[in-house]
A and B are shown apart, each in its own frame.
Chain A
């Protein structure tokens, strides 16, 4: 049974990403940050789709389970492309966009191949498509986390000054790190509790909120000194 808190969180999960797209359209940056908006659009639609499937078939149904895992994989792939979109912004001036695109596709293919190989070599006698999708989603998530850390390193090294790009990347870093911390905490303290049910849903709201703020409030031409935002450097630098 869906409680009022679950219902509100579910609705927010669909409306907040849609809000990002609206803010991007209003700020006239929809096509500039197209992969990010595509991810948010997919998040809004798939969350709404999950709700429809849940309503029609129930939480424990096979339909809901399939839809959940497959939509999660699609969202992770979209997030991966959103991250690659941010890479192309950061490396824009170096003119390496073509190499980035090829690299992104190669890394995606490599992650899929690695996932498949791990499953083939595991002790399981039967490998289902769903299991592959779940594992791929998890591995791609980990790759995204590492790539975000590397991207932040590039932002600092290349002295990126565009406030929008800095805020989009740092918000993504907060999101990935929070989920990684949540995941490890869950491993350290397994079991079901209210915290593990609601915490990921609350954490998931951070990214649409932060990106919507950036698109709505930070002008495209806003600039900031890179040294000013580096957490390891002093204020006066």
Chain B
């Protein structure tokens, strides 16, 4: 009984801290504006990105060469997105307000992926420019 209680409290604490940690990662990306090139590639016209675009954006991110410094952030946010998707499905029938909150959070994750893509495009362009200058 006590072990089950500790487990429930620990899981609640874990989720609380993990959500906060992921939000702190995403928040840094929210202040960044997307470049015109990234908008063109992703088809995003304003700052609003649908939550369902996250996976598509992540696939585009994977196609770009890795700068080697964003893998962990992407991994953490991907796990967070997965948790949000499960929570959103669970709350759909019982608490629509919570479901909307989850969707807003998923949109933040998608924007994060768009900014990560933008950074990788910029990195690829830098690589190409340096290769061209060498030849």
Contacts and interface: CB of A to CB of B under 8 A. Distances in A.
Interface of A: 149, 152, 163, 166-167, 170-171, 173-174, 176-178, 180-181, 183-185, 187-188, 209-210, 213, 217-218, 222, 224-225, 228-232, 234-236
Interface of B: 3-4, 6-7, 9-11, 13-21, 23-25, 27-28, 69, 72-73, 101, 104-105, 108
Given A152-B16, A222-B28, A224-B27, 20 more contacts: A166-B20, A170-B17, A170-B20, A170-B24, A171-B17, A171-B21, A173-B13, A177-B16, A180-B6, A180-B13, A184-B3, A188-B3, A188-B7, A209-B72, A213-B72, A213-B73, A224-B28, A229-B20, A231-B17, A234-B101
Nearest to B15: A231
A81 B133 CA distance: 52
B7 A184 contact: yes
A163 B15 CA distance: 19
A167, A183, A185, A229 — which one has the most chain B CB atoms within 10 A of its CB? A229
Given A163-B28, A234-B101, A152 B17 contact: yes
A236 B3 contact: no
Nearest to B21: A170
A33 B132 CA distance: 43
Contact of B69 (A149, A217, A231): A217
A224 B4 contact: no
Q: Tell me the interface secondary structure of chain A in the complex.
A: helix
Contact of A167 (B11, B24, B104): B24
Nearest to A149: B13
B24 A166 contact: yes
Given A173-B13, A173-B16, A222-B28, A235 B104 contact: yes
Contacts of B4: 184, 188
Contacts of B105: 235
Given A229-B23, A229-B24, A235-B104, A184 B16 contact: no
